[in-house]
Every structure is written in C-alpha cells, then in structure tokens.
Amino acid sequence: MPRPIQGDFIAYQESYINCTRGNNIHEIIANHSANIDDFINALPEAKAEYKYAPEKWTVKDVLQH
C-alpha cells in the first residue's frame, strides 16, 4: 500500500500522516516498530486490561488487532 497523497484523505488526517516516515506501509512499520515495541512494553498491565465499558475492547485487544 503506497503512502497516501493529497486528495486521498481528509484534511483532519494530514497531521497524523505527516507524523510517519516512509513511502509505503512496509517502510512505515519498519521505521516505527521500535517505538511501538517500547510503548507496548512500557504499558502497565492494569492499563493494558482497561476498557471503558463492559462490552468494549481492552487497550491490549486494540493493540493486538
């Protein structure tokens, strides 16, 4: 999947897209995998198991999805 270009997304999404480095999804994941690992490893178990309502996903569920 190539990096989106102007017009492929709404203006609101631009700030998020600009936070990534890479020309396609594979490069983006490679460039950010260490940050993602650090974030997950630093997440306390109590926060990882948090969900805001009984039938909703936990933070861990979202990260694994």
27: in domain: yes
pLDDT value at position 32? 86
4: in domain: no
Q: Which domain holds residue 45?
A: 11-64
Q: Where are the beta strands (DSSP E) in 1-65?
A: none
26: in domain: yes
What are the φ and ψ backbone dihedral angles of 5, each rounded to 5 degrees? -110, 160
The total domain count for the chain is 1
1: in domain: no
The DSSP call for residue 5 is -
Tell me the per-residue pLDDT of 4-48, one tens digit each, with 9 for 90 and over.
Answer: 988 999 999 999 999 888 899 899 888 888 888 899 999 999 999
6: in domain: no
